[in-house]
Structure 1
Amino acid sequence: MRVRAVRGATQLEVDEAEHLLERTAELMQAVLKRNDLTADDVISIFLTATPDLRSAFPAAAVRGLGITDVPLMCAQEMDVHGAMPRVVRLMAHVQTPRTRDDIRHVYLHGTTVLRDDLREDDE
């Protein structure tokens, strides 16, 4: 097995706890599904939120999916002028037989513009 990093992002319409938790859970589930992973394959997850998101910790959504024995860390994204608002990003370190080229990064709800080089059918 190899250790790989999987990236992803999602954008929220509003800063409300239920919405943030729902979108973050959707993102995490998509990362697992698109890369044929289970919770046991996850080593750690780093989550960030743009400074305009303050209603909940994104890690709470991951814990809500039953991923309770994996180290998680939340941080605030840099406050860059003109950056896309209301975005949760994640980077999960996983064990997988996939090559780096076979990893499927996940960008939902308009965030594909953050990584045009990775654009797929994520919308």
Structure 2
Amino acid sequence: MIRGMRGAITVNQNTEEAIITATEELLEKIIEENHIQPELVASVFISTTKDINAVFPAKALRKFEGWTYVPVMCMQEMPVPDSLKMCVRIMMHVNTTQSQEEINHVYLKGAKVLRPDLSNSLA
């Protein structure tokens, strides 16, 4: 079965280095906490708030060994008034036998406020 694994992190600056570093941290934690193997990933959607545009955050995933052929798409979040700023969100679609309750959604830094009810993460 394919399950969605979610995560988000805030970025302190709209620079390539800050965006890639934060996205790597988030991806690493999602992958680690859910024991994800790249060959089991159907696709990854990465979105950013409108204030992040210095680089495609998907560039961070290409640094992970074995992830070359995983389809990744970047997009921009809806600009909802008063929503969290400087945020990168990830939705990873993974073939897994885990139940929805067993999945660890990862929210780091300022993004912890987004879904504390879903965050089973130790992060």
TM-score (norm 1): 0.93
C-alpha offsets along residues 52-81 of structure 1, whole Å, 9 cap, x if unaligned?
Answer: 001110111111223110111100111111
Q: Structure 2 regions of 5+ residues with no counterpart?
A: none
> Which residue in 2 is equivalent to 1:23?
22
Matching residue's letter, 2:78:
M
Report the secondary structure of 2:73's partner residue: strand
> Which residue in 2 is equivalent to 1:92?
92
Is 1:62 aligned with 2:61?
yes
Distance in 1 (CA, whole Å) between partners of 2:110 and 2:120 is 12
Q: 1:16 to 1:39 in 2, by over 3 A?
A: same
**RMSD across aligned positions (CA):** 1.3
Q: Structure 1 regions of 5+ residues with no counterpart?
A: none
Distance in 2 (CA, whole Å) between partners of 1:73 and 1:97 is 25
C-alpha offsets along residues 91-116 of structure 1, whole Å, 9 cap, x if unaligned?
Answer: 00001111111011010112111002
- Percent identical pairs in the alignment equals 37
Distance in 2 (CA, whole Å) between partners of 1:65 and 1:5 is 20
> Which residue in 1 is equivalent to 2:79?
79
Is 1:34 aligned with 2:33?
yes
Matching residue's letter, 1:39:
P
Distance in 2 (CA, whole Å) between partners of 1:22 and 1:104 is 21
Q: Between Structure 1 and Structure 2, how many residues are aligned?
A: 122
C-alpha offsets along residues 6-31 of structure 1, whole Å, 9 cap, x if unaligned?
Answer: 01000011111011001101111111
